[in-house]
């Protein structure tokens, strides 16, 4: 029946090895030879969602996969323990149990990929996840002077260490965009290397803040520099810039990941963030990953989506697929 997902789709939501990037020496010659054909990038991005469609039970399967890749995020100035408690519970149980049962997906143990908060909220978020029986979900902390990065390096490194000490297993650092705009790649590389050391065993995601890098070539070059410095993930945006995650930018960053993998054999994850609000948006990003990086990246070990409101729309679409009608706002738990 339409309520039973294909076994192959269910099996693809699986545990895989995560990123593997020890980094390398800065290769300025490689960076300097970067060229980006902007019309070709836009043409490729425009056709990604027109050449591939996913419908019916396959769409439900893909949306469940998207849920497992979400870094459920709250980065507001008025965050309180009640906000993080609600977020932790929603990450642990992102989809209504009756919908999961109707899709025959109870055995998948669907949870979000991580919970992303400010460093000051890390400790309580870890406690809430433990309380709700979801200690396997990592807490990610934005750090290094998020979102601007306009702080001294010592301050930024100390913030990383404090977040890790509080229990963060992933650190989303922001790069110094001034250095990227000035093409001071050596200093940028050195800073990111120091941040990676400060992370210890925690995974490090490097936020490029692409809306402030001016050109696609800068985006590609900054991606390479961060990967050479040992970043486990590269991430599009803080969500606070005027331009955040767009498919053309995602395409450029995925091509950088692919080239880096082909030349070094090192695996780096990818995280778009900012402005991804609908199930349709999530599907477009999944298609991009499948087309550009392949199925090996199509999991929460190597692909994350930074979002706050996205989960509600995905749950709403799954509700419609199961029941044939759209849920009212009060029928779905807030995230």
Q: Which residues are catalytic?
A: 172, 235, 271
CA distance 241 to 147: 9
> Which of left, alpha, beta for 133 (phi over 0: left; psi -120 to 50: alpha)?
left
Query: Please, which residues have CB within 8 angstroms of residue 129's CB and are 6 or more apart in sequence?
Result: 88, 91, 92, 115, 135, 137, 139
Whole-Å CA distances, 32 to 26, 28, 220, 251: 12, 6, 11, 20
Query: Please, which residues have CB within 8 angstroms of residue 136's CB and are 6 or more apart in sequence?
Result: 111
Residues in the chain: 335
CA distance 43 to 148: 31
16-17-21 Cα angle (round to 5): 145
> Which of left, alpha, beta for 144 (phi over 0: left; psi -120 to 50: alpha)?
left
- Here the tokens at position 56 are 């019916």
**Contact assessment for residue 94 and residue 110, using Cβ atoms and an 8 Å cutoff:** yes
């Amino acid at each position: 029946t339409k309520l039973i997902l294909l076994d192959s789709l269910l099996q693809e939501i699986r545990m895989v090895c995560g990123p593997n990037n020890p980094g390398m020496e800065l290769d300025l010659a490689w960076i300097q030879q970067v060229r980006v054909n902007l019309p070709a990038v836009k043409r490729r991005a425009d056709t990604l969602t027109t050449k591939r469609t996913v419908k019916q039970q396959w769409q439900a399967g893909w949306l469940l996969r998207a849920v497992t890749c979400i870094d459920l995020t709250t980065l507001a100035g008025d965050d309180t323990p009640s906000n993080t408690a609600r977020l932790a519970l929603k990450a642990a149980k992102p989809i209504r149990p009756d919908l999961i049962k109707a899709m025959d997906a109870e055995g998948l143990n669907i949870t979000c990929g991580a919970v992303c908060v400010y460093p000051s909220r890390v400790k309580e978020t870890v406690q809430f996840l433990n309380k709700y029986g979801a200690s396997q979900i990592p807490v990610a902390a934005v750090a290094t002077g998020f979102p601007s990065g306009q702080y001294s390096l010592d301050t930024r490194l100390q913030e990383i260490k404090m977040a890790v000490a509080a229990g963060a297993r992933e650190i989303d650092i922001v790069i110094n965009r001034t250095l990227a705009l000035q093409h001071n790649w050596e200093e940028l590389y050195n800073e990111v290397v120091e941040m990676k050391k400060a992370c210890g065993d925690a995974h490090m995601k490097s936020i490029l803040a692409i809306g402030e890098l001016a050109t696609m070539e800068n985006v590609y070059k900054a991606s390479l520099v961060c990967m050479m410095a040992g970043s486990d993930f590269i991430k599009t945006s803080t969500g606070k810039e005027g331009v955040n995650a767009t498919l053309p930018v995602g395409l450029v960053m995925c091509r950088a990941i692919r080239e880096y993998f082909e030349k070094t054999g090192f695996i780096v994850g990818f995280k778009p963030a900012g402005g991804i609000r609908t199930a349709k948006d999530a599907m477009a990003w999944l298609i991009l990953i499948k087309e550009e990086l392949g199925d090996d990246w199509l999991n929460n070990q190597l692909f994350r989506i930074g979002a706050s409101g996205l989960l509600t729309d995905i749950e709403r679409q799954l509700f419609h697929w199961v029941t044939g009608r759209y849920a009212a706002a009060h029928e779905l738990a807030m995230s």
